[in-house]
Structure 1
Amino acid sequence: MRTLFILFRKELRSFFQNPFGWVIIAAVAIANGVGISTSMKGFVDSPSQHSLIFATFHSPVFWFWFLFIFPLITMRSFAEEERSGTLETLLTAPVRTWQVVLSKYGAAFAFYVILWIPTLLQFHLFSWVADLPDAWTPGEVFGTYTILILMGMAFTAVGCLASSLTSSQIIAGLLTICLLMLLFFFGFIPIIWGGAFQGAGIFYYISCQEHLAFFAKGFLDTRPFVYYITLTFMVLFLTYQIVDYRRWKR
């Protein structure tokens, strides 16, 4: 475990020692701020029964920038080290393959969680500046950030898998966004074809849009927990197999 912690700390530190990591934090804060401002303007134009958090995260604008977080934070994980040759050095060191995979995944996921800390402050700025009660309930905040963490857990694993398949950061990023867009559009299949066809329940079950909308209302459901945790373990297992194959191939 000590080796895993050392590798994890090294990987996490690399996000903050690189200006690109701070750019990602700033970009997420700006994008979320724009989303909050847009939602507040929408409330002025047409009052809604939904909370400010629901309106901010349940919009096409949110999904556009949200899905692009993951290629940015994972495309360097394995691809950059493969290109520079440092991955070969790492894999020939006295460390286990699972330690390499978990340290890179864990650091990327931890950085993803850190990205959301400024957004919590942005929502509280609404009540501080406007001198009005919070436009949401504690349950809605808890539910929203719970599902964001669950989705981030699985989507970060997908990004690490894509990065392990190539030595090009650009290809890894493109592959990540393509896989995530595929998962995203699965949720539109019942909307396009209707919910009466056989198998529609499966698409509702894996729909990240449905999950976010449900949790953002302050509700909790154990099925998304099972789905995202299972997906994370499956994808990480594939990543482990790919990296381990590269290790013994050498």
Structure 2
Amino acid sequence: MTAIFRKEINAFFSSLIGYVVIAVFLVVTGLFLFVFPDTSLLNYGYATLGPFFTLAPNILLFLIPAICMRAFAEERQTGAIELLVTRPLRDVEIVMGKFLACLTLVVIALLPTALYYYTIYQLGAPAGNIDAGGTIGSYLGLLFLSMAFVAIGLLASSLTRNQIVGFLLALALTFWFYFGFDYLASLPVFYGNGDVFIASLGMQEHFRSLGRGLIDSRDVIYFLSLTAFFILLTVISLERRKW
């Protein structure tokens, strides 16, 4: 697993992929949060990173499928997957190595955003007048969200030889699990008839819950279970080559 992790990290940073991902995330969030007047935190009137935590999942919805689309699809297309599986590694180790590498790249992209927190912390009246608990919970939510998105992206990549198809499939799945259940719960037919339960099946509800600053074990278990489920499906997808 460690060898796969190192191989994937080297692949990200020996090409432009890793640098482009980090740059795109930071430039887009920076423009929306500090440059564009309609969304600028400087014009928001409150010392909060709420707009960032609203924006970031929408960017990750596109960015993480783009990171993961090559994970297996490229190797299946070039035949490199056959060389990979001849190594003394179990399928789960291959998947976990790629999972941790993709997640590490996302975490590296998130780390510089701590500067946003410092900026708002200093601009508060008085300085430090910011909901630290909610901010920590929201960052934790972004980490769990990224884990689930990466697991979904790897599954999509393992199902096809075409990277674009893998990207579109991962995008559709992440979009559904983040927005889809909330949309279903908002339909009039579900008002007072299971709408809360339906919303709880989606990622957005649990992400919001973590953003309140109270770490609920139900939210943590939800994200860990969803991530494990899609990793398991990816392992099963890889094992199909033996059938």
Would the TM-score normalized by the shorter structure come out above 0.5? yes
Residue number in structure 2 paired with 1:23: 20
Paired residue for 2:142, among 148, 151, 162? Answer: 148
Could you tell me how far apart the structure 1 residues matched to 2:213 and 2:32 are?
Answer: 20
The answer as to 2:102 corresponding to 1:108 is: yes
Deviation string, structure 1 residues 48-69 (Cα, Å, up to 9, x no partner)? 5xx52123223xx544322112
| 1:105 positional shift | 1.1
CA distance in 1, matches of 2:211, 2:43: 18
Give 1:40's aligned amino acid: L
Q: Cα RMSD between the aligned structures?
A: 2.2
**Equivalent residues of 2:77, 2:162 under 8 A apart:** yes
State the distance in 1 between where 2:206 and 2:78 align.
Answer: 39
Query: Structure 1 pair 194/29, CA: closer, same or farther in 2 (3 Å)?
Result: farther
Q: What do the CA deviations read for 1:3-61 (whole angstroms, capped 9, x no partner)?
A: x2122111122111111210110111112212322242552xxx45xx52123223xx5
Structure 1 contact 35–62 (Cα < 8 Å) conserved: no
Give yes or no for the alignment of 1:86 onto 2:87: no
Q: CA deviation at 1:121?
A: 1.7
Counterpart-to-counterpart distance in 1, 2:205 and 2:103:
22
Could you tell me the TM-score, scaled by structure 1's length?
0.86
Q: Show the 5 A alignment for 1:111-126.
A: 111-126=105-120
- Say whether 1:57 aligns with 2:53: yes
The residue aligned with 1:203 is 198
User: How far 1:227 moved relative to its partner?
Assistant: 1.0
1:222 to 213, 217, 220: 217
Alpha-carbon distance in 1 for matches of 2:166, 2:10: 22
**Length, aligned pairs only:** 238
The yes-or-no answer on 1:8 pairing with 2:5 is: yes
Shift of 1:93: 2.5
What's the counterpart of residue 133 of structure 1? 127
**Percentage of matched positions with identical amino acids:** 31
Kept in 2: contact 1:53–1:216 (CA 8 A): no
SS in 1 for 2:105: helix
- Does the 8 Å CA contact 2:60/2:146 hold for their aligned counterparts? no
Give the corresponding residue for 1:172.
Answer: 166
- CA offsets, 1:179-221, max 9 Å, x none? 1111122122222337634332322212333333332232222
Give the AA of the match of 2:201: I
Please say if 1:191 is aligned against 2:186.
yes
Aligned residues of 2:155 and 2:233 also touching (Cα < 8 A): yes
TM-score calculated relative to the size of structure 2: 0.88
Distance 1:200 1:74, change over 3 A: same
Change (3 A) 1:17 1:130: farther
Amino acid aligned to 1:81: E
2:22 counterpart letter in structure 1: I
